[in-house]
Amino acid sequence: MTRVARGITLSIALAAALVAAILLSSMVGQLPVTPAEIVGSVLRALGFQNGWAPADPIVESTIWIVRFPRIVMGLAVGAALAVAGAVMQAIFGNPLAEPGVVGVSSGAALGAAGAIVFGGALGITAALGSWGIAVCAFAGGLLATLVVYFVSRANGRTEVVTLLLTGIAINAFAGAGLAFLLFMGDTASREQITFWQLGSLNGSLWREVLIVGPVTVLGTVAAIVLGKRYDLLALGERNARHLGVNVEALRIGSIVLVALLTGVAVAFCGIIAFVGLVVPHVIRMVIGPSHRPLLVASAVGGAALLTFADLVARTIVPGADLPIGMLTSLIGGPFFFYLLYRQRKRSGGWA
Amino acid sequence: MSLVHPTPQISATGIDVVIDAHPILSGIDIDIHAGELLALVGPNGAGKSTLLSVLSGDVRATSGAVVIGGRDIRSVRHLDLARLRSVLTQENQVSFPFTVAEVVEMGRSPWARTGSRDDDERAIAEAIRATDVSHLVSRRFTSLSGGEKARVSLARVLAQSTPVVFLDEPTAALDLRHQEDVMATAAALARAGRAVVVVVHDLSLAAAYADRVALVAGGRLESVGTPAEVFTAERVERVYGLPVEVVTQSGRPVILPVRGSFPA
C-alpha cells in the first residue's frame, strides 16, 4: 500500500475507534446505559424530542454530569498530549522527546501543585479563579521545556543522552518540589497532589473541560498550520533556514505550544505519560513522517487511545477507579524499551 | 576576466569575521556574477566554509557588507532569501524517515503558492535527472549511503531553482564518476545563467570546471582569477606547504603533488 492509501485507511480506522471509544465509554459503568438512550439523550439536548431519550433522571444525569465531561476531557487531554509529543519530536528532531519523559509534564504538575497549596495565599486563586491552576501548570511546563531545550541542544541537534539526562534531572527536581508541597499542604491539597502524580480523569467537570477543550483545539490547529515547517526542520536547522523558515521564531513558538498543550492536559488530570511518545511513533510507522497528516492522526489517535484507556481504568477492577497515568505508563514503559532495543539492534544504540 | 558583467549577483566588500577574538576572515572583497561557476579553494581551516556562510547569509560578518540581488543581505526576509539562493551544506541528515521524493520536494517549499504545480513538477524532475537519483525516489532517505544522501540533497537544492547556488563540498562523499557529474551539473547551472559558488578540495576538479577560482588562505583572499592564473605551482606550494607539479590537460591546469619528495 502507498502512504496515501495507508493514510486513508488509518483515518477511517481511527475515526471508527474514536466513535466506538466514545460510545462504549458512555455505556459502560456502574449504571449501564443503552446506546439508544445515549443517542436519544444527545438528540434531545440538541433540541430533537424523541422516544429513545431516557425517562429516568438518574440515567440522564449519569450521562451528562459524570460520563460526558469525563469522556470529552479524555478526548481533549489525549489529543493535547499526542500533539504536544509530535511537536516536541519535530523541534528536537528526535523520536524520544516526549513531555512526560523529558520532564515537561512534571514541571507542569509542580506548577499546578504550587497553585493548589499556595494559590490562596498568593492571591492566584482570587485573581484567576479556576484558570489559576491551568496558568500555573502552563508556566511550570514552559519553564521545564525551556530548560530542556537550552540544555540539550547543540549545533541544531539534540543528543539523546543529554536529552534523557536533562529529563531525569527535571523529573527529580519536580518530584522533590511535589514532595515539599505535599509536606506543606493541608489534607485536601495533599489528596489533590497525590492524584496528579498518578493522573486521572475521575471527577472531570464541565467547567474544566471548557478550559482544556478550546486550548487543545487551538493548539492542535496551530501545530497543523506549522506542519510544513516541521517537515523542513527535519532537514536540520541550517537547511530549514536555507529553505526560508524562520527557525528561531518557529522554535520559540513551538516551545510555547508544547508547554500550553502539556500544561492544560496536566492541569486537571495530572501526569499521563507516554501518550505523546507512543501515538506519534505508531502513526509515523504507518503513514510516514510528514507532519500535517501525522499531527491530525495523532490528535485523533491520542483522543481514542486515552478514551479507551480511561474505560479500562474505571472498569477493569470492579468498583475501583484506577489512575489512568499508571495504566499508560504500564503500556508506555515497555514500548520505550522496545524503541531502545530496536535502535540498538539497528545502529548500536543512540549516541 | 575579460567578460563584462553589468551587476554582480552577489557582491561582498570588506568582509571581516571575528569569532572569540580570533580573526577567521579579514578584508575579503569578491563579486559573483550570473552565469559563472566560482570555485572556493584553500587549505583546511582557511575560512572557505565561513566565507560561504557569510555570502549565503548564515553568518553575519563582523564588518563589511554582502549585497545579494541588489539588496543588503541582512535586510532580506527568510523566505525572500530562500528564493534568491540555495545552499548545499556538508552535513545532510534527516531526522525522520522521509522518502527521497519527499526530501527533494521540500526544495520547492519557498515557492509554495507562487506558481503552478507544473513548475514544481518540472523543477523536481529536472533536479532528479541531473543528480542521477531517479532509482532512489521511493527509498527512505535515512536508509541511503553517504554518497546517495549527498546526491539527493543536491537534488533538493537544485529543485529550489534559485539564481544563486552555494555548494559546500558537494563532491566530498562521492566516487570518481559522480564527482565529475556533480561538477558538470554545477557548470551547466552556470551556463543556464545562475551564479554558482562551490567549495572543493580537489584542485584539479576545481580547475577543470570553474570559470574562476578564489584561493583562500589564512582568512584572506590569496588570489582570484581563472584556474590558469590562480593555480601556479609556486602559489599552490606556498599556500599548501607541499611541492606540486602543474600540468595542462585540455587547456586546464591539473595539480599533482610531487610524491617522491616525502620521506619514506
Size of interface A-B (CB pairs under 8 A): 73
Q: Which CATH number covers residue B216? A: 3.40.50.300
Q: Does B122 reside within a domain?
A: no
Task: Write out the residues of chain A at the interface with chain B, using a CB-CB cutoff of 8 A.
Answer: 3, 93-95, 157, 228, 231-236, 238-239, 241-246, 284, 288-290
Where exactly are the structural domains of chain A?
72-347
Listed residue (A297, A240, A249) closest to B106, CA to CA: A240
The domain tally of chain B equals: 1
Q: Give φ, ψ of B162 to 5 degrees.
A: -105, 155
Look at phi and psi of residue B27 and say left if phi exceeds 0, alpha if psi is from -120 to 50, else beta.
left
Strands, DSSP E only, in B33-157? 37-41, 63-68, 71-72, 85-88
Q: Is B97 on the interface with A (CB under 8 A)?
A: yes
Give the DSSP letter of residue B144: S
CB-CB: which of B83, B87, B109 is closest to A232? B109
Distance, in Å, from the CA atom of B62 to the CA atom of A20, rounded to the nearest integer, reads 62
- Can you read off the three cell numbers belonging to residue A286? 504507518
pLDDT at B165: 95
Average pLDDT over residues A116-124: 77
For β-strands B85-88 and B164-168, DSSP reports them as parallel
Lowest mean pLDDT among A24-33, B113-122, B139-148, B230-239: B113-122
Dist. CA B210–CA A121, nearest whole Å:
73
In a domain, B110, yes or no: no
Kindly state the average pLDDT of the residues B256-260.
Answer: 85
Q: Which among A238, A239, A244 has CB closest to B78?
A: A244
Residue A263: φ, ψ to 5°: -60, -45
What is the pTM (predicted TM-score) of this model? 0.88
Beta strands in B71-211 (DSSP E): 71-72, 85-88, 164-168, 195-199
- Give a yes or no: residue B186 inside a domain: yes
Does residue B39 form part of some domain? yes
Q: Which of A93, A246, A290 sits opposite B95 (nearest CB)?
A: A93
| CB-based contact B213:B226 (threshold 8 Å) | yes
Average pLDDT, chain B: 90
B239 within a domain of the structure (yes/no): yes
| B133 occurs within a structural domain | no
Rg (CA), chain B: 19
Q: How far is CA A182 from the centre of its chain?
A: 24
Which amino acid would we find at residue B213? V
Percent share of chain B, pLDDT over 90: 76
Question: pLDDT per residue over B196-225, tens digit each?
Answer: 999 999 999 999 999 999 999 999 999 999
- In our burial notation (b when 16+ CB lie closer than 10 A, e otherwise), range A145-170 reads bbbbbeebbeeebbbbeebbebbeeb
Answer whether CATH 1.10.3470.10 is correct for domain A72-347.
Answer: yes
Whether residue B123 is contained in a domain is answered as: no
Residue A335, SS3?
helix
pLDDT in tens, A168-193: 999 999 989 988 988 888 888 888 78
pLDDT-based confidence at B2, cuts 50/70/90?
A: very low
Q: Which residue of A has its CA nearest to B152?
A: A235
A245 CA: distance to closest CA in chain B (Å) = 6
According to the per-residue pLDDT averaged within each range, which of A112-116, A148-152, A219-223, B90-94 is highest?
A219-223
Q: Which domain holds residue B43?
A: 10-93+162-261
- DSSP conformation letters of A231-249: HHHTT-HHHHHHTT--HHH
pLDDT tens digits for B111-166?
988 877 788 899 999 999 999 999 999 999 988 988 899 999 999 999 999 999 99
pLDDT recorded at residue A289? 92
The strand ranges marked E within chain A are 153-154, 157-158
Residue A71 has pLDDT above 90, yes or no: yes
Q: Cα–Cα–Cα angle for B212, B218, B219, nearest 5°? A: 70
User: Nearest by CB to B82, which of A3, A95, A243?
Assistant: A243
- Which chain A residues are within 8 Å of B95, Cβ to Cβ? 93-94, 233-234, 236
